[in-house]
Amino acid sequence: MKGAVKFQYVTSESNPADLQMKPLAVPRQERLLQLTDLTAFGPDDGQPEYDE
Amino acid sequence: MVGSLMYAALGSRPDFAFSVTALSQYNVQPLEMHVTAAKRVVRYLKTTAEFRIHYRRLTSYPQSPHNSPSINIIGYTDSDWAGNLTTRKSVRGCVFGLGHTNANEELVMSGMIHWQAKSQSVVAHSTLEAEYIACSHATQKSLWLRRMMKEAAEGMAVKIVDGPVPTVPSN
């Protein structure tokens, strides 16, 4: 499967894998969580997947 | 208590998986400080109870030429060179999610589908070697994930992108 994976390099500041590696300060943890789309989501924020 | 936290961390809350992994190392003979730390994680969980992994609507994914949503997989890896001072082994971590395009037409991660932190089986002699090992494992994982998703999406109006899986190691 040659060429099946494309590599890019990022700094540690914007690497969400750091969430799994070390304890992070609150601002950085929040930023990484936003990058991975893991944020607060209230019961009224949802949308139906398909319109009626 | 740690077992219950582990359930959440493995299933839907990767944000405190590191804390639970660290706590679970003291399951056999926990001290008062470990119970205090576990209670702190529970307090964090209580204040962030509304946190969810967002899996976006299919319409937010790039459309393929056949007008079906094209989903890509994007992954990030990192390693902690000689993080274990006793064995000098490194820990590798990776996070994978579904890729979607944002307003700037950049491919970014949305819902996470896999996350893992694991001690490497060999002793790396440099940060480069530790990162390379982590990257190699993440590459294998990304190909496996894509193959599995392609099988799961067979017969559905979703296309799993055949092109490169963007895997992003740390510098």
User: Is the minimum CB–CB distance between B164 and chain A shorter than 8 Å?
Assistant: yes
Tell me the residue type at A2.
K
B162: pLDDT strictly greater than 60 = no
B159: pLDDT strictly greater than 70 = no
Q: Which two tokens stand for residue A40?
A: 């607060």
pLDDT category, B154, cuts 50, 70, 90?
confident
Domain boundaries, chain B: 2-47, 58-169
Residues B143 and A4: beta-carbon distance below 8 Å: yes
pLDDT category, B4, cuts 50, 70, 90?
very high
A1: pLDDT strictly greater than 60 = no
Contact list in A for residue B111 (CB cut-off 8 A) is 37
**CB contact (8 A) between residue B78 and residue A35:** no
Instruction: Determine the pLDDT at residue B157.
Output: 59
Question: Mind listing the pLDDT tens digit for each residue in A5-48?
Answer: 778 888 888 888 888 888 889 999 989 988 888 888 766 565 54
Instruction: Determine the pLDDT at residue B39.
Output: 95
**CB contact (8 A) between residue A9 and residue B168:** yes
- CB-based burial label for B132 (10 Å; 0-12, 13-18, 19+): middle
pLDDT category, B152, cuts 50, 70, 90?
confident
- Which has the higher per-residue pLDDT, A3 or B78? B78
Instruction: Determine the pLDDT at residue A51.
Output: 44
Question: Mind listing the pLDDT tens digit for each residue in B67-124?
Answer: 666 777 888 888 888 888 888 988 888 899 888 766 676 777 888 899 988 888 899 9
Mean pLDDT on B38-64: 83
Residues A21 and B81: beta-carbon distance below 8 Å: no
**CB contact (8 A) between residue A39 and residue B52:** yes
Contact list in B for residue A7 (CB cut-off 8 A) is 135, 166-169
Instruction: Determine the pLDDT at residue B73.
Output: 84
Share of chain B above pLDDT 70, in %: 80
Mutate to test the interface with B, among A7, A20, A33 (most CBs of B within 10 A): A20
For chain B, first and last CA: distance in Å?
36
Instruction: Determine the pLDDT at residue B52.
Output: 86
Q: Which two tokens stand for residue B153?
A: 């999406």
Contact list in B for residue A17 (CB cut-off 8 A) is 76-78, 93-95, 170
